[in-house]
Structure 1
């Protein structure tokens, strides 16, 4: 987390105004970008805690009516307390944080009053670093038994992997043992003590986001990474895991590419939960309680990043995303895309100045650009609605779409190009737009408010440079009576087939199975039964599918919950490959590969080939063979003979700048091998 002192004491009630003409939409023009939107590709349903922010006890504006109302206007429905790393020095009973600053009128009851005025649920951080399980249990008792606040969500600590165990130390931790093993043991103790007071609460453990430090690193004396150790030892005691994400990037353009990491990072995290957390691991949910950028924090890059990252994470089923933070204070002042950037992590101005008063922020509580993007996300991500699949053929334009309960579509369009407008053609699958111009709410570079009106058409929108636009398209389909969406499917998978099954619906229905593919799903087949076997799949490949029901009148249901699976490799191939990440340092590792000839004849000269799952992975050097990488494809070539039953070992140094999704399928001289 990031901490700065807060200065300023003047209230300014900021009200976002509505202008008649949206900055992000204009008359129909020739499209240079294609956006596909597919309602058959059902993603996550939005919960009641989706849009969150952080409060901090050093913020004198915490809980004030002006701030609570601004957050309510933006659609915030979860607020976190007492503020990042301060949580590990904070003692709730006497409202102190030894070694830190506590502003007046920031106690727990004041926070809860502000949360209630906002209409938001609290996310409370129990003190792990300098506290005890009993202190946390007493807090639960005060909150839910004494005061009746009904505080459901509690995390144990903040960024506890930053306690020095891996070298860097910013998080307070009085425990002699700083290991993940000790943290996990305390999570179990905290959870037991807290749930003994109120069994209805949900307890979360701190993990690290895949692709971010110290992900992949095994500390001294540990048997696994932080995530592996915590999940293995405390998985049965928790209800969710809590991660933070500051993706970095030296320029706005670089930062804005990092949202491409989201789907793989969440996939890896879910895989870790499934692998290490024991029985019934599917119950464990994911929260993202801190995120922000390093460049352009109060200007348009921060706004574009916020819109993209909230939407991307929520679409993948993260149940809350929370910006760091509401107020933070003046940082390094720069100019970004022609606008003054105050280097402030806050959504709202702190109204303070630098040491010699030569540079001052806008008046207190003036919304910065990310606040306005947050208000668009708050309108997009309404509880009970559902994200659906989208795709873009332009890396500088991203899209996110939500299907409303009434059948309408809300489409969030993000133009990351600082220099050029882009005209997008909107193409729909499984959805018929109504005639007439859609409603468009937009926030452009340099704007001081969201502008709302009608513009463009359901099929074409022009996006101003560096802008975020929310386009609401009414459904042209009238009537009701569509079948109910099928329940969650499951799959039995081999290397090239998947048998997909789902609960039976009403009599007389046919079912269609679709594979998600950006914004244009591929129909894999249909059946009158409740299972379908799909063939011709690729070994070691990840697939996401939905099932839809169609009745005798041709009416199509909404999509089932998504199912993601990865095909395996042949069980009896003529070769076996074992791939290991054996010494990871957070953005690179030493990899080893064992290649075994399972055949009865020698292989005289061989080429092993595999493909990196992402574009941010590569081989920097290799040994015991000739290594070559072309795009994402790696070839390892040897002139040596590999005798029947023999194993060859080769090694390399691998680099990665995002989630390190390891390859699972390999070929030897063109034959798919068994992966060990």
Structure 2
């Protein structure tokens, strides 16, 4: 068994760390935002009694539906250097934690691994880790396999032979296959940890070979799903164009391989301190939104069929202690409620690394969620016995108690950044609410408001994981509407309804949108089948945070919404109500963005050039479409996120307050003649998903965008 020398995360031959370009993303802007949110410690507490924390209001909205929990939701990585991969004890522990998807053969080892002879030249292969042993373990766990075909040193024929052996010869029914692992890390962007023996290491070459892999593999078994490697928006090398590729990695791969793939695979290591990692969970909705926008824009016809998997996830600090557990539960929930079909922790066993004290407990710097039982190279520190669970294992177990396959995530939110909330509704009428207290020092009292749901007077079931605990405790809560959360804790409340409603209309299917303008949009959906009984009406609800706003109702299967704001992202659900007043579950969500005016006295073109991973050269071109000259101008826009900034600029006077950017003319460009234009530029910075602005106002008028 490997200990201190066990490869970290996913890649040989460099065992520790990520490329230097990633840590550089922890900018001063990110730190200032965390300070503003109260997520970084600034000054030590003064002597004397500390004031009681302000009660946190939690809102749980059963009318605001999100994604349904898939059977593949809870995943983890297995690796061929782990001699315990196939043991019954390991498999039984994974099963107990609710694992339903296992990835093999181990991140970057996949790009040196040859399945036929079970070798990985340049890496370590432990005994008892061959493919058949892995499949036996997966079956014991009750998990579907996700297999990484060797791109770096393999061939399409080798991958096709693997599919044949797995599904034709052995009848394993292995459905999910990814072509390679982190292949953007092959040196094309300057950092090289991923094996790649091809003469051309560009995104273009990778994408064209993905097409060959997909064709060869599906010729053997057309029922399999093939995935391509992308990069997580807001993380290196997202946004960067290298070599002669026509665009950044994601754009290039999707444009070429999009018609041939069934899903895209991304990884996310947010990095930073424990507080920074926990705060960066807020990046998830915008990162997934951007990724779906990239798929829709570049992947060709029927791009909506392409799913998203996130197959590596971990933290830099607190890997084995409570921050890792809090991050796991918060991030898994955020990713799954945004429609990612599997989330997989890196990994089961990995080995001891940098030992430190985190949150009052020894952290072994081990990316595994179960102890490898090893010691540091000098023998000064040893881990607990083999397979002792670390905190992230308990976090995964909490996810299994919270979000079960077939549950529907519903919108939940809080009014304080140190406490986050997620919720699901179950077919038996129950709601489960997951509460995450990210404050390492203070308990936080919470009050829970429910919309579209009335809790019963019965005591809810409560599951709690506190800092340093060796297991989750389960008991009864006094109330469904109030609770005090211990410091650095996970709490799940399972709440029964006051009345179990039987019957009622079925859940409407996913709506779509058409005729989108700057002020209106038409929402439409498939009518419920006649045998379901006609509903009296359908209701269209907008999600405004955790609050629902009913936009209207109709007896038909479409509704035109007016009074919308230009360039704004809207998420809506459709619910059906029958003659007895019973309300269905909310449909899956629809998210769309309104346009800007097609005719305006001004037009603006926003440009982004020379992106280097956390910044770029930005520009705005302003056009006077009116009949009168403009004599003095003020241009404004609002960033979609709090982690974006316009820095130093030129050809204008630049100022940013909060998320609002204001640019005023200089003496040289204050006058814009009818039909004329002027330009200004700035240095843009971002420390998370870079969702670009789409709506601009010139002297208060909303402009057309070019």
Q: TM-score range by the shorter chain?
A: over 0.9
User: Partners in 1 of 2:282 and 2:144 — Cα distance?
Assistant: 29
C-alpha change, 1:440 and 1:31, in structure 2 (3 Å) is: farther
1:343 aligned onto 2:365: yes
Structure 2 gap ranges (5+): 8-51
Q: How does 1:268-667 map to 2 (within 5 A)?
A: 268-492=290-514, 493-505=516-528, 506-639=533-666, 640-667=670-697
What are the Cα deviations for residues 560-619 of structure 1, in whole angstroms up to 9, with x where unaligned?
110000001000111111101111000000011111001111100101100000000001
Residue 96 of structure 1: aligned partner: 119
User: Partners in 2 of 1:399 and 1:370 — Cα distance?
Assistant: 18
Q: Shift in Å at residue 645 of structure 1?
A: 0.5
User: Partners in 2 of 1:521 and 1:347 — Cα distance?
Assistant: 38
TM-score, normalised with respect to structure 1: 0.95
User: Partners in 2 of 1:589 and 1:368 — Cα distance?
Assistant: 40
Q: For 2:641, what is the secondary structure of its paired residue?
A: coil
Q: Shift in Å at residue 255 of structure 1?
A: 1.3
Q: In the alignment, is the contact (CA less than 8 A) between 2:225 and 2:261 conserved in 1?
A: yes
C-alpha change, 1:479 and 1:617, in structure 2 (3 Å) is: closer
Q: Shift in Å at residue 6 of structure 1?
A: 4.0
Q: Shift in Å at residue 30 of structure 1?
A: 10
What are the Cα deviations for residues 159-179 of structure 1, in whole angstroms up to 9, with x where unaligned?
000000000000000001000
Structure 1 gap ranges (5+): 8-28
User: Partners in 1 of 2:231 and 2:53 — Cα distance?
Assistant: 44
Q: Shift in Å at residue 394 of structure 1?
A: 1.1
Could you tell which deviates more after superposition, 473-482 or 594-603? 473-482
Q: In the alignment, is the contact (CA less than 8 A) between 1:31 and 1:460 conserved in 2?
A: no
C-alpha change, 1:275 and 1:212, in structure 2 (3 Å) is: same
- Give the aligned length: 652
Q: Shift in Å at residue 381 of structure 1?
A: 2.2
Q: For 1:496, what is the secondary structure of its paired residue?
A: coil
Q: For 1:192, what is the secondary structure of its paired residue?
A: helix
Q: Shift in Å at residue 5 of structure 1?
A: 3.7
Residue 175 of structure 1: aligned partner: 198
Question: Quick one: higher RCO (CA 8 Å, sep 6+), 1 or 2?
Answer: 1
Q: Shift in Å at residue 499 of structure 1?
A: 1.4
User: Partners in 1 of 2:346 and 2:361 — Cα distance?
Assistant: 21
Q: Shift in Å at residue 509 of structure 1?
A: 2.0
Q: In the alignment, is the contact (CA less than 8 A) between 1:6 and 1:350 conserved in 2?
A: no
User: Partners in 1 of 2:449 and 2:404 — Cα distance?
Assistant: 23
Aligned-residue CA RMSD (Å) = 1.2
User: Partners in 1 of 2:497 and 2:397 — Cα distance?
Assistant: 23
User: Partners in 2 of 1:594 and 1:362 — Cα distance?
Assistant: 61
User: Partners in 1 of 2:690 and 2:379 — Cα distance?
Assistant: 46
Q: Shift in Å at residue 456 of structure 1?
A: 3.0
Residue 40 of structure 2: aligned partner: none
User: Partners in 2 of 1:118 and 1:656 — Cα distance?
Assistant: 41
What are the Cα deviations for residues 494-515 of structure 1, in whole angstroms up to 9, with x where unaligned?
0011111122224342111111
Q: Shift in Å at residue 117 of structure 1?
A: 0.3
TM-score, normalised with respect to structure 2: 0.91
User: Partners in 1 of 2:619 and 2:54 — Cα distance?
Assistant: 48
Q: For 1:516, what is the secondary structure of its paired residue?
A: strand
Q: In the alignment, is the contact (CA less than 8 A) between 1:51 and 1:381 conserved in 2?
A: no
